[in-house]
Amino acid sequence: MPQLKLVLLVLLIRSGTPVCQLQGRTQPSELSKAGDFVLGGIFTLRTGYRGSVPSFQTSPDPPTCLHINVREFKFAQTMIFAIEEVNQNPAILPNHILGYKIHNSCGMTKIIKSAIDLASGQREVIKERNCTKADTAQAVLGHSGSAPTVGFARILGRFRIPVLSHFATCACLSNREEFPSFFRTIPSDLHQSRALAKLVKHFGWTWVGAISNKNDYGINGIATFIQAAQEEDVCVEYHVAFEQTGPLHELSKVVETVKYSTSKVIVAFMSHREVNVLATELYKQNITGLQWVGSDAWITDHSLTDSEGHSILVGSLGFTVSKAQIPGLEEHLRQLHPSQFPDSQFVRDFWEDVFDCTLNDTANTQRKLCSGNESLQNVESYFTDVSELRFTNNVYKSVYAVAHALHSLVTCEEQRGPFLNGSCADTKNIQPWQVLHYLQNINFTTSQGERVMFDQNGDSPARYELINLQQVTSGTMHVSTVGIFDVTLPPERQFIMNGMKIVWGRGSHTVPVSVCSESCPPGKRKVLQKGKPVCCYDCIPCAEGEISNITDSIECFKCLFDYWPNTRGDTCILKEIEFLSYAEIMGIILTFFCLMGAILTAMIALVFFHFRETPIVRANNSELSFLLLFSLTLCFLCSLTFIGRPSEWSCMLRHTAFGITFVLCISCVLGKTIIVLMAFKATLPGSNVIKWFGPAQQRLSVLAFTLAQVLICILWLTINPPFPYKNMNHYKDRIILECALGSPVGFWAVLGYIGLLAVLCFVLAFLARNLPDNFNEAKFITFTMLIFCAVWITFIPAYVSSPGKFTVAVEIFAILASSYGLLLFIFIPKCYVILLRPEQNTKKHVMGKTKDIHY
């Protein structure tokens, strides 16, 4: 019974649906060649397409591709050239032929379908059944755009089929979890975005606008740039995105944003298609004077020459891959002929477009019939130009990368292989993951000396050239390399300018300025404007006592204790030291009056000494007069110790010398006053007062009064003497070098004692002012003491309130005023009589009504 059921089941299967049934046919490749190993290629040989809206009820018609894309066709031919070169090289894949299948795909749908066809293509039908033998490509080269590459690399990655791109730079493709089989011979945008940030920083453009594609390439690239720009202290004023195929209002929004922005630099992370559209629209609206900074997707694209707004792109800067030379490629390109690819409609269309003729005599066209003698040997065009091979060289390297991986695979030795138990791959049934393994580990140098390898993410080493778009006209483009950016170098040497002259926007040779706020010079600091980016700020001067010595400082710092900012606020300089100097006008004047006072006193002393025997000298106690003149000389001279740079000895000397000499002076005046009183008291009947205040008592009184002041000064100097002091409290910008009192009590004790003696002298002189005498000295002493007390009473508030060196000047003035007062009002009248009125210098005239007094 079981056997019967089995037979019936087999009969039902044979009579039913075939075991294998095709769900569809692959689209034919544009260019192909059979080989032991097949490389797939996906290139958009035509840009722009017309497609119908899918109804989801029937299979959609394939889109109609429009304009010829010479650049992509050149990439395809470079791939063919590299494959032919490998096939002719006995050192790589000996006894094996490398074939290719190159698809012409425009539009995302067709690109994805081409990738799937290369992954699961069909060969011949196996036996009678509909089952087919898989014709999977060993690797797929392409695409030039990041967005299409992201689409099909994600699919092929599930089957571990290697994908190599020569132009897809989106950093998102470095994600090994999402794209496990993706490699590229062009650096990731991660490095380019950082290089662009360093570029704008290098030229001082801290206020820029950013425009990108509205796809993974543009959004990821510009996002990385914005992050890197923030690290370089560059602010992005705006970021807008659009697509060439998107709605028109998106483009209008971008144009309006650019028109009303204040930044003069645009970082454009877009493809050449978006740049052409945007440049044309900006040109139509006369929005010029902008500095463009571009990504490698458009900065050297030849299609820019066809844009209506190409003139506003002159002066653009951008990074692109290094230029290279590929020997033999030009000859290969010039040898192209439609007969080499008889099944390719695109090659025929390209040929007809180049020579403006038709290969089909039945076609209804305005073109003449091709003669058959057409040749590219003498044609100068972008297709045959090999002077700027950049991305073309990446295609060349991609082919060799796969060839080296396959070579390592077929030359593997058993028991020494990389797979399980040292096994090698079966060359008759190669699995995609095996090719992927060898591709990940390639490391070779091309014939041009360029090293090819991939990191763990499938990325190539990043090295860029900085390109300056110096001339763009209809059909021609002139670029110049003005610098390099090499990630493999140390950070400080990664970005290097080569010194070549740069042409800026509109042919200018002046670096444009694009900042939100002008740089803050040294002496000022930045204060951020509320609600705006960090690049927008105000510059305010540093606070008092602070400086900033760099441009764009965010903070100021205080000067050291002995320093103060200069007038610009960018350097700390030593504070000016202020003291009453002999060299300044005020010091010279005071010194003059000091010396004049001393000289005048000495002259009066000489006069008195010469006329010492005359009545007017003898009547006024000549001994005390000479002692008073001596003390006055010391008073004038001690004023000099207050002038000049304070030192330890001068600080101690000036106050003590002043205190002692003034007490000596006042003691003498006090003695003379007492003598006058005693003398007139002695004339009264029965008075014997004069014997109690004779010459000995006079000397002792002067000595006693003076010794008391000496004692006060000794105590002051012993306990807490005056000392030099840098006064930084009164002025912030200068140092007042002065003598600190040490002990204020000692200072005011010295002054108080002088004041006490002066008041006592004034009181006694006041009492004796009306005593009968033709020459009553008490009147002059009274007036002198009155002036003396007035000067020193005025001195106290003036001394306390005067700043700096003026404090010392006030003190010197008080000493000089009181000294001159004593000199002039006590001695000058006597000198007047002695020198000009000698007839009055008689005993009779001096004594008047009183009797002669002997001292």
pLDDT in tens, 247-277: 889 999 999 999 999 999 999 999 888 999 9
The per-residue pLDDT for 98 is 94
Nearest to 318 by CA among 245, 378, 390, 423: 390
Between 121 and 785, residue with greater pLDDT: 785
Buried b vs exposed e over 766-787: b needs ≥16 C-beta within 10 Å?
bebbebebebbbbbbbbbbbbb
Return the minimum-mean-pLDDT range out of 28-32, 118-122, 499-503, 744-748: 118-122
Structure confidence by residue, pLDDT tens digits, 509-537 = 788 999 998 888 999 999 988 888 888 99
Overall average pLDDT of the 196-216 stretch? 92
Task: Check whether 844 has a pLDDT greater than 50.
Answer: yes
pLDDT band at 679 (very low <50, low <70, confident <90, very high): low
The per-residue pLDDT for 121 is 65
Task: Check whether 170 has a pLDDT greater than 80.
Answer: yes
Cα 68 to Cα 353: distance, rounded to the nearest angstrom: 9
Name residue, tokens 């002298």. Answer: 761
Name residue, tokens 């769900």. Answer: 23
The per-residue pLDDT for 415 is 83
Task: Check whether 203 has a pLDDT greater than 80.
Answer: yes
The per-residue pLDDT for 225 is 93
DSSP 176-199: TTT-TTEEESS--HHHHHHHHHHH
Between 478 and 328, residue with greater pLDDT: 328
Overall average pLDDT of the 111-131 stretch? 68
The per-residue pLDDT for 24 is 62
Cα 254 to Cα 252: distance, rounded to the nearest angstrom: 5
Task: Check whether 321 has a pLDDT greater than 70.
Answer: yes
Between 506 and 821, residue with greater pLDDT: 821
Structure confidence by residue, pLDDT tens digits, 223-235 = 999 999 999 989 9
Structure confidence by residue, pLDDT tens digits, 417-439 = 888 888 898 888 888 899 999 99
Overall average pLDDT of the 128-139 stretch? 63
The per-residue pLDDT for 128 is 45
Cα 324 to Cα 451: distance, rounded to the nearest angstrom: 13
The per-residue pLDDT for 200 is 93
What H or E segment, with its residue span, contains residue 574? strand 572-574
Residues 6 or more apart in contact with residue 818 via CB below 8 angstroms: 635, 662, 787, 788, 791, 792
The per-residue pLDDT for 458 is 93
Overall average pLDDT of the 67-79 stretch? 93
- Check: CB of residue 512 under 8 Å from CB of residue 264: yes
The per-residue pLDDT for 216 is 84
Between 127 and 506, residue with greater pLDDT: 506
Give me the percent of the chain exceeding a pLDDT of 70: 87
pLDDT band at 671 (very low <50, low <70, confident <90, very high): confident
Cα 404 to Cα 85: distance, rounded to the nearest angstrom: 13
The per-residue pLDDT for 506 is 65
Return the minimum-mean-pLDDT range out of 63-77, 505-519, 796-810: 796-810
Q: Three-state SS for 783?
A: helix
Task: Check whether 244 has a pLDDT greater than 60.
Answer: yes
Nearest to 608 by CA among 625, 596, 631: 625
Overall average pLDDT of the 792-817 stretch? 77
Among 402-411, 756-765, 782-791, name the most confident range: 402-411
- Check: CB of residue 258 under 8 Å from CB of residue 275: no
pLDDT band at 23 (very low <50, low <70, confident <90, very high): low
Between 82 and 846, residue with greater pLDDT: 82
Task: Check whether 545 has a pLDDT greater than 80.
Answer: yes
The per-residue pLDDT for 444 is 92
Cα 485 to Cα 317: distance, rounded to the nearest angstrom: 13
Task: Check whether 315 has a pLDDT greater than 80.
Answer: yes
- Check: CB of residue 657 under 8 Å from CB of residue 638: yes
Return the minimum-mean-pLDDT range out of 2-6, 75-79, 567-571, 652-656: 2-6
Buried b vs exposed e over 54-70: b needs ≥16 C-beta within 10 Å?
eeeeeeeebbebeebbb
pLDDT band at 681 (very low <50, low <70, confident <90, very high): low
Alpha-carbon distance values, 301 to 72, 271, 326, 389 (Å): 11, 9, 19, 12
Overall average pLDDT of the 114-126 stretch? 71
The per-residue pLDDT for 845 is 66
pLDDT band at 199 (very low <50, low <70, confident <90, very high): very high
The per-residue pLDDT for 510 is 86
The per-residue pLDDT for 15 is 46
Overall average pLDDT of the 14-19 stretch? 49
Overall average pLDDT of the 391-411 stretch? 94
Alpha-carbon distance values, 253 to 238, 273, 283, 304, 681 (Å): 12, 18, 15, 22, 116
How confident is the prediction for the chain on average, in pLDDT? Answer: 83
Task: Check whether 219 has a pLDDT greater than 70.
Answer: yes
